[in-house]
Structure 1
């Protein structure tokens, strides 16, 4: 009964949110903002404690004797090459966000921090805050969720569902059935709403890129809707083929374009300034990330508290919103890898890449602020979506670099939608590893509708609030999954090397 009601209930809830957003976008955004503000005020300490616990747990498992355990049977081998594996998990997890916020986020933090510190010290701290938001804590949320799903799915032969570890560890009874069903439902809702926000963010950036590329004035909503229509047509073909042919190819192309752009900016820009900033930012981040994970800014003024809620808490909840989606997707492509390999690949490699990425794109923004007369801060204050393109226009071959950002952003949106539709299809078919094309296309339609809602909101702040609203309940489910993993690992007999 509960299993058959899961898909209709999930479609009803996500569809209702989509219809509400289309008919009354302002009302939905206001409701989400108010409710999220109340939750953040009362639960800030709990959210930060939870994400720090997840980071500590994932690192401890990787370094412990359990790190040698395979996510699968002992003779299983990885399905994908290491390069394809890393590009797929990265493209699914954060690709479009890095493009959107690469220059904008460090500058946005700088606007606040510069009121409290020397400008050059403020630039360093703003970069540290950005790295904190996109670094170890974020990827630990993904890693631990994916680790639980992969362990129970491939080593214990459970269905690839959020509820499977709960039912396996605590047994099947009326209570665990209800908790498991609710867990799957919350995961589906969090995935769908979170992905809708990512689609909107990507469309906003592609719109700014197209306007900059062709020298167009602000074209408003109609251009965003035109880009959205092209996007919907573009993500259908990858849904018609298997995961290895569709997702792996798109992810490799997107990461190749983004990597080429990164190297080009590093070599043609103020290389000594950027490399010095990257090295300094890496040192400050790895020396301060752990303590930053326990900061709640309780004793500082209201302006800092508002910033903390709007950025740090929103990001942590955002990663939790994507945890079931990215976690299940990473689990799906990670069979045959050990826990140590899994945690190392999922947590350390993307974190290192993010530090370099923000060091380059945030660094060029700070170079413009500190060493030139370019109105970079004014653009960052008034047009978050366009600040990256403004900076690129002052580099060699601006047409080429802006086109590269547009292409990479578009591909990252497609990979996110395809992987999310795949995961939602898995949930809809009881954890099947290869959902049918019809199921994937159905979820593609729902994800498109939710993306349209976010686009109609026209505001990144509204998008962030709606995502947080869908994700807040899932923090409790993630912690329950971690408990299930730790209990089950006690039964493993790991031979010493």
Structure 2
């Protein structure tokens, strides 16, 4: 049995076992995940934050160093996709449905916690800052370093498009490199599968709640959640039988156009002055706090803040790490021909700016309702987090139209994410084949659906977050190793050129 066959067999077996466990006994799986994640965060939370902050500083340094002129590919290669389409595709794959799900709910959840020990205006400001930090440049630095390392070694050095590619290219004759490389590919597959399975579950919850809102219900019934799940799986399986290319670009562009339209709609028809101030204030607070906050662990602020830090900040960081190999390979695949400087600035700035505007608009209107309105959205965020975005849309004109648009955007984001993930998992499990066979892609599509079902049966968003985190914990160390490989590879190239 070849190494790629072994990786495919063992990873499929493990993912099937986890999915089956989650379907048969979801409570015990959630308990195990919660216990392991809590222990890891208590003992290694500092390492997670240090690693993520180091990735961000590495990206900034590369963008403004002499390495920024190096092209991802041959010196005469040029990008395949236009910059707007490129940003839309990486954004749809990287965050997509999460922005729709947490648009209003996350700032309000942080506000509800913060107002217990600070005045409401300051609590609102800190709630937006925390949300922007969770979805900003640190997340994209994780994606960026993983993608940049894989793209550089694949297109510049001829390595296979695998996490193990950089490691084995730099140390071709070392036994430990082959062992670590194989293990890294395996851990990447597990992290991707569990992370995408969690996103499927959140997407299903949101779409089902949106449909239930249109039907006049107050909570999506089990049959409706099951029906949405079946339709979603049926929608993403056929695209796995065709090539990944312009179709993905169209779907991603459509989802992004809907998302941009929703932001403009909210700002124009909502409390415009308040929202524009919210967005601008969010930018200002975030710009000056982003890097220092990456080194904060809230050690000296008591158990309540410590628990919040673990449940939100650390969970988000490992969540992005779980998606890192998937989004990294996908971004690498669509980034051939770009310079390192162009790549880094595009990956860090474009999606982060949109995220700050997004939460400033949707989170801002939720905070406006809390500070100057009825406060119903805050109560909804505490009792039914899946419905908060739709609750906000019901307070603005044309709620039926915007609800349909949100459902469609969530659906498209999930489909693009799962299709992209199945391609990447196929690549990883077949030794780096950039175009794995339809059969392999279909197998991964079915397994992702099984994991999504297990996540849905876990019964809550908090449980899903724990399950995603446990899949990502081992990959933290791989991310650090990839950064070391990137620096070493770039230094060797520049040294050789100088000579």
Same fold (TM > 0.5): yes
Give 2:144's aligned residue: 143
Q: Deviations over 1:178-202 (max 9, x none)?
A: 1110000000000000000000011
Q: What is the distance in 1 between the residues matched to 2:239 and 2:342?
A: 28
Q: Deviations over 1:123-150 (max 9, x none)?
A: 0110000000000100000000000000
Give the secondary-structure state (helix, strand or coil) at the position aligned to 1:243. Answer: coil
Q: Does 1:363 align with 2:397?
A: no
Q: What is the distance in 1 between the residues matched to 2:483 and 2:112?
A: 38
Correspondence list, 1:240-251, <5 A: 240-251=241-252
Q: Give the deviation of 1:493 after TM superposition.
A: 3.3
Please say if residues 108 and 366 of structure 2, whose CA atoms lie closer than 8 Å, have aligned partners that are also in contact: yes
Please say if residues 201 and 460 of structure 1, whose CA atoms lie closer than 8 Å, have aligned partners that are also in contact: yes
Give 2:179's aligned residue: 178
Q: Give the deviation of 1:220 after TM superposition.
A: 2.6
Give 2:39's aligned residue: 38
Please say if residues 365 and 376 of structure 1, whose CA atoms lie closer than 8 Å, have aligned partners that are also in contact: yes
Alignment: residue pair count? 496
Please say if residues 237 and 442 of structure 2, whose CA atoms lie closer than 8 Å, have aligned partners that are also in contact: yes
Q: Deviations over 1:16-70 (max 9, x none)?
A: 1001101100010111001100000001111110000000001100110100100
The more displaced of 279-288 and 235-244 is: 235-244
Q: Give the deviation of 1:84 after TM superposition.
A: 1.4
Structure 2 spans left out of the alignment, 5+ residues: none
Q: What is the distance in 2 between the residues matched to 1:74 and 1:92?
A: 28
Give the secondary-structure state (helix, strand or coil) at the position aligned to 2:158. Answer: coil
Q: Does 1:377 align with 2:378?
A: yes
Give 1:465's aligned residue: 466
Q: Does 1:315 align with 2:305?
A: no
Please say if residues 163 and 180 of structure 1, whose CA atoms lie closer than 8 Å, have aligned partners that are also in contact: yes
Distance 1:135 1:219, change over 3 A: closer
Q: Give the deviation of 1:435 after TM superposition.
A: 1.7
Q: Give the deviation of 1:322 after TM superposition.
A: 0.4
Give the secondary-structure state (helix, strand or coil) at the position aligned to 1:491. Answer: helix
Give 2:454's aligned residue: 453
Please say if residues 131 and 358 of structure 1, whose CA atoms lie closer than 8 Å, have aligned partners that are also in contact: yes
Give the secondary-structure state (helix, strand or coil) at the position aligned to 1:242. Answer: coil
Q: What is the distance in 1 between the residues matched to 2:359 and 2:251?
A: 23
The more displaced of 258-267 and 170-179 is: 170-179
Q: What is the distance in 2 between the residues matched to 1:110 and 1:216?
A: 27
Give 2:445's aligned residue: 444
Structure 1 spans left out of the alignment, 5+ residues: none
The more displaced of 163-172 and 443-452 is: 163-172
Please say if residues 238 and 247 of structure 1, whose CA atoms lie closer than 8 Å, have aligned partners that are also in contact: no
Give 1:154's aligned residue: 155
RMSD: 1.2
Please say if residues 203 and 414 of structure 2, whose CA atoms lie closer than 8 Å, have aligned partners that are also in contact: yes
Give 2:253's aligned residue: 252
Please say if residues 239 and 246 of structure 1, whose CA atoms lie closer than 8 Å, have aligned partners that are also in contact: no
Please say if residues 5 and 429 of structure 2, whose CA atoms lie closer than 8 Å, have aligned partners that are also in contact: no
Q: What is the distance in 2 between the residues matched to 1:140 and 1:127?
A: 20
Correspondence list, 1:25-424, <5 A: 25-424=26-425
Instruction: Report the TM-score, using the length of structure 1 for normalisation.
Output: 0.98
Q: What is the distance in 2 between the residues matched to 1:325 and 1:429?
A: 15
Please say if residues 269 and 395 of structure 1, whose CA atoms lie closer than 8 Å, have aligned partners that are also in contact: yes
